[in-house]
Amino acid sequence: MEIGHKVKQLRMQKNLTLEELASRCELTKGFLSQLERDLTSPSIATLNDILEALGSSLSDFFKDEKQDKITFQKRDFFTDEREQCTIHWIVPNTQKNEMEPIMMELPPGGESFEVSPHSGEEFGYVVDGSVLLTHAEKKYHLKKGETFYLKGKEFHQIRNEGKTAARILWVSTPPLF
């Protein structure tokens, strides 16, 4: 395990400079710099002080974390066939992630559920067909190859008013499907 690299990752996640971390744990910036480059090793007591300053603990730091899966195949997908649309979860178990991508299929006349206001954002790409996006009482016509990007502050919904099926790659943050 590269202790220094992991300490640096924690520091960066907390948006702290080397100076700020050094001040919080009463160490020198030079020592922390060498530690982060794995040029020196801290004592257990010193590492504990650094981790406390970063809001972590020795047990969490050394916990053997399972590597997150970063690629997915078709067999990993989950499909939910609803009356008005079909949703393909193209990244499984996204409830634990910050964003949720889906592939939505809308038959002619099909529509998504109405999305209630939320604090996140959404992006959509029309893969096939054309759709009507209703957002805050305004209507937007989108055809193959076009996109939408919106804040989730208003009710919105997608409807296929065309004669052929439509497919939309839809990504939301936080997960809402």
Where in the chain are the domains?
3-62, 74-173
Residue 124 is predicted with a pLDDT of 97
Q: pLDDT confidence of 78, banded at 50, 70, 90?
A: confident
* CATH annotation of 74-173: 2.60.120.10
> Of 28-32, 91-95, 131-135, 142-146, which range is least confident?
91-95
CATH for 3-62 is 1.10.260.40
In percent, the amount of the chain with pLDDT more than 70 equals 97
* DSSP assignment of the chain: --HHHHHHHHHHHTT--HHHHHHHHT--HHHHHHHHTTSS---HHHHHHHHHHTT--HHHHHS-PPPPP----GGG-EEEE-SS-EEEESSTTGGGSS-EEEEEEE-TT-BPPPBPP-SSEEEEEEEESEEEEEETTEEEEEETT-EEEEETTS-EEEE--SSS-EEEEEEEES---
Q: Could you tell me the pTM of the whole model?
A: 0.63
Domains 3-62 and 74-173 share a fold: no
Question: Would you state the pLDDT for residue 93?
Answer: 76
Judge whether residue 67 has pLDDT over 80: no
